[in-house]
Structure formats: structure tokens, C-alpha cells
Structure 1
Amino acid sequence: MPAYFVTGTDTDAGKTLATAGLLALARRQGLTTLGLKPVASGCRRTSAGLRNDDALALQSRSEPAVPYAVVNPFAFAPAIAPHLAARRDGRVVTLTALESHVEPLLEGLQELILIEGAGGWRVPLNDSEDLSGLALRLELPVILVVGLKLGCISHARLTAEAIQADGLRLAGWIGNLLDAGFATDTTLYEENLDTLERTLPGPCLGILPRLDAVDEQIRPESAATCLVLPDDD
């Protein structure tokens, strides 16, 4: 079944919104889905244990339903880089541990599996490994979420170049409007999007508008209307 690794040009680029939106779109099309957030920092303490809002958004759009621990096996409270959050907790997360958790899930019956990373492509997992190494080990195509703001063209192109340099395919990219002012000049905004379309080595899977006024629970459903699923070919 198609499985993809979702990364972003930066922290808060909109990875979860895009990932949950794609899962919601797949569900509308009658597909079975699984969303994974293997490592999450910035988790809340609850009676059931540490819970991350991004991971919960993916869990709620996974069908058939799965336990939280399947979606997010490594959860940390501090809202900081994963390797630093793990260090504060006296733990070390390794690619081998992530691979052991995720690889068997890829053999399931879901028709779309999305694995959301943390931060950008080069975010460290520990002192010697990057989280993107999971995509390399599993040979997953990558979906890039581009935070649309000043400087996004360079950020997007550098990330795409790093993905390709690591030997992986960019299955597509999604633009997420972070700065409403960025789109004030319509002509300039369209020229930025045109540059991204011409220079990124993968198709555009959609452009997400600012959704601040939309309730947090239904934002991915609204995002789904702006997206297309990647082509597994």
C-alpha cells in the first residue's frame, strides 16, 4: 500500500494540517488510512499518559482505529527538538527502535499510510542520527510541506535538494499559507507559487489557505478540500 514520509521546510510549516487533511481526503474516497507520528515533543499530561495534539489528529483520522501508542510510541513533554526532549527525559530514541515499530505497520491493510516527521528534514533524532533516516531506512517517498512566507522558495528548494541527495523521491509538495500578508500582493504571491512549481522536483498536491477562523477539530476537513492524493506511480 502507498506509504509516505511527511516533512516540512521548518517547524510549524503545517505538517500536521497537511497530513491530517490528506488522511481526511482519503477517508472521503473510501480508503483505509493510518497516520503515524513516531516521535512527538510538546505533549500534554493526561490521565491516560502523555498525549500530543498532532498525534491525536492523525489517530482520529486513521481507519480502522488504532491505539494511541501505535500512532505515537515516543512522546515527550517539552516542546523542544526531539533529541533534546528525549535527553531531558533520560532517554535516547534510535532509528532502529523507530524502524522496529513502523516497519511491521507498513505490512497492514491500510490503503494510505502517512508518517509525519518532526521539524524539518535535518532535525536530529539523537547525537548521531536524524529523524529523516527513518524514511531512508524504509525507502519511503517524501511529501514536503512548504510554509508559505518570505524566504520559502530557498527553504523549499534546499529541503528538496537534501531529500534527493539522500536518494529519496519527492512525491509532491503542499503549500501552507502561514503569513496572510504574504498573499496581499496577489501577483507576487502567484509568482512565488509559480517559482515553486517550476523548481521543485515533484507535483503540487495543493495550497492551503489561512484557516485560523476554522475550528481546530475541522481544520483538516477544510484542508482536504484543497488537496489531492499523491500518485503512487
Structure 2
Amino acid sequence: MSANIAYFVTGTDTEIGKTLISSALLYALTQQGLRAAGMKPVAAGAELRDGVWRNEDADRLASAANVTLPPQLTTPYLLREATAPHIAAQQEGVTIDASHIRACYDQVADAADAVVVEGVGGFRVPLSDTFDTADLARLLGLPVIMVVGLRLGCLNHALLTAEAIAARGLTLAGWVANVVDLGMLYGMDNINALTSRLSAPMLGCVPRLPAALPNAAAAHLDFSSLPGWPKSRPARPLSP
């Protein structure tokens, strides 16, 4: 039986907290008693550990999930160079194939009640000459959660990303504000500006945490408004 709860997590840029929020979402799903699996179909940047190439983001998703699956399924394209994925793939002689990603996703979904798929970089990152992360999101057809890194420029990035999601016929199911720049001026004013302009609900604001742990981030988030979210337990309170 395939997962009946699944989400695609994208961001306004790279290094803005997609993995933290994806891990928090996985943690919250496991707390609901669900078998939850994480997937990062394309990861660029790996290091050799004990003879195995590993990606930190993919490992963090696997740690937050409670369904253990082969990394060849959860990250079918693990690229070594920490650069744009289509460039890293070219350097390794790899072609990122949409149909292969879809086949891997279907197997992951068959093994879990819920799946969290994390994109790479922002929403329009090229994966090949003809395929990008927006195409990937459309291929999977999942509700999208947008992570907004709170720093100068985030308003433009968030609104353009939301427009790109809508243009592909996808649902922006919710968005998360994640504090990236502690020195950002008027952070709450920026959040209010997005709240008034985005039709999707804000799921919470994650402050800079002493340790970027999934349970710590989840304490600041309320996922209960997401489509398909189980209603059997009380909603997690939204922290200020």
C-alpha cells in the first residue's frame, strides 16, 4: 500500500534550512505513529566515509525517519561535487533521469505511510539540460512546503518561488520562516509582509537553535493544516 501522506519541501535558496525543516516534518510524522521515510532524490556534495560516499543532508533525513531504506532508493543521484547538480552530474558522466527518480519514489512510498521529499537548492535548480527541480516537483505531484530563509532579499525570493509553484499547477500547502541571518533588520515585518501576500498558511518560525535537531525545530511548527495530516492527536502548539 502506497503512502497516503507525502510532501515536497523546497526553499527560497540553498542553505536556508530545507533539511532541518524536512527532518522536523519527519519527526512530527513519526510522533503521529506513522511509518515515515525521507527522500532526497538528488544530492550534490559527498564525502567518503568508511569506503562509502555519504551526503550530510541525506543522512540527516534518514536519521529522522523511522523507515530504513537503501540509500540507492532514497537518494538515487548522489553526486560528489558540492556544486550545481547538472554540473556535478556532467563531471561524473551521469544523466539525471526523471523516470528513474519516479520509480524510486514509488518504491519508497510503497514502504511507508508518509514520505517527505526534499528538493535540492531552490525551486528552479537545473538537474539536466531539460529537467529542473520544478519539473521534479511536478513529476511527483505532491503538495509543496516552502522554506523561507529569513535574510535580506527573502521577500522577493519567496514571492517568486510561490509564483513558480503555482505556475506549475502545484499546491503551496504551507511555508516556514527559518532564521538564517541573526542580524536581519525587521524580521517580524518581513514575516508579516509574506503572511499578507501568500495564500498558504505559515506553519511557524524556527529561530536559530543551539543545535539543529529535528525535535527542537518541530517544537516551533504546527503541521496540522497540511493536507492529509492525521487528526488523531492534538495539534502541536505554534511557538512564537
The equivalent of 2:74 in structure 1 is: 71
For residues 74 and 102 of structure 2, the distance between their equivalents in structure 1, rounded to whole angstroms, comes to: 13
Report if the CA contact (8 A) 2:86-2:128 is conserved.
yes
Q: Which runs of 4+ in 1 moved over 6 A?
A: none
The equivalent of 2:63 in structure 1 is: 60
The equivalent of 1:135 in structure 2 is: 137
> Which region of structure 1 is more displaced relative to structure 2, 44-53 or 16-25?
44-53
One-letter code aligned to 2:44? S
Residue 7 (1) aligns with residue 10 (2):
yes
Residue 152 (1) aligns with residue 147 (2):
no
Cα RMSD after superposing both structures = 1.5
Tell me the SS of whatever aligns to 2:136: helix
For residues 74 and 38 of structure 1, the distance between their equivalents in structure 2, rounded to whole angstroms, comes to: 6
For residues 109 and 50 of structure 1, the distance between their equivalents in structure 2, rounded to whole angstroms, comes to: 25
Q: How does 1:80-119 map to 2 (within 5 A)?
A: 80-110=83-113, 112-119=114-121
Q: Percent identity?
A: 42
> Which region of structure 1 is more displaced relative to structure 2, 94-103 or 17-26?
94-103
Q: Aligned pair count?
A: 224
Cα deviations by residue, 1:151-172 (Å, 9 ceiling, x for unpaired) = 1111000000000001100010
One-letter code aligned to 1:196? L
Residue 221 (1) aligns with residue 196 (2):
no
Match of residue 201, structure 1, among 199, 209, 225:
199
Tell me the SS of whatever aligns to 2:121: strand
Q: How far did residue 48 of structure 1 move?
A: 4.6
Report if the CA contact (8 A) 1:45-1:77 is conserved.
no
The equivalent of 1:177 in structure 2 is: 179
> Which region of structure 1 is more displaced relative to structure 2, 20-29 or 171-180?
20-29
Report if the CA contact (8 A) 2:74-2:108 is conserved.
no
Match of residue 127, structure 2, among 125, 128, 132:
125
The equivalent of 2:168 in structure 1 is: 166
